[in-house]
Structure 1
């Protein structure tokens, strides 16, 4: 018997839904602040998160996700490595607040 060809999947045929965990704006600020390597980057990142948070009611979910990812990309050119685990705050100390 000849081998079967792999099934051809399209986006329409595979309605996968991925549920992301509920994150807060404070969690995002904590993560981006930890990724920032300089005081200037920390100030910039916190400003970008604040502006994105203010714009969020007017953005689609997809556009909001794009904005959040772009904030992280701002930090990549000079620092394209993850921070050392010693510099990260444990999740239990992250402040909780508003929802995304």
Structure 2
């Protein structure tokens, strides 16, 4: 990863209960001097709801307004399926967005 990138590792269930904290973390990382990309490692995320989708979309928009990128990496299982179904994976991880063929 480039030195101008910021990595955030997420895990567990991401829902309304953690949305405000995630919003604050993403806002702080977007405002960091010298950061051109924020990478979210989502390999250990087991669940996410519509609240988190909204947080990710708003964070993506805020990053883009300041010339930065927000990217997700490694979502698995149901979390990946939610990102795929909502179309969010396509613009947050365009290089790896493919239909999830795993169990439903």
Length-normalised TM-score, structure 2: 0.30
Q: Which has the higher contact order (CA 8 A, sep 6+)?
A: 1
- When Rg is computed on C-alpha atoms for both structures, the one with the higher figure is 1
Which of the two has greater strand per residue? Answer: 2
Q: TM-score, normalised by structure 1?
A: 0.30
Greater fraction of residues in helix:
1
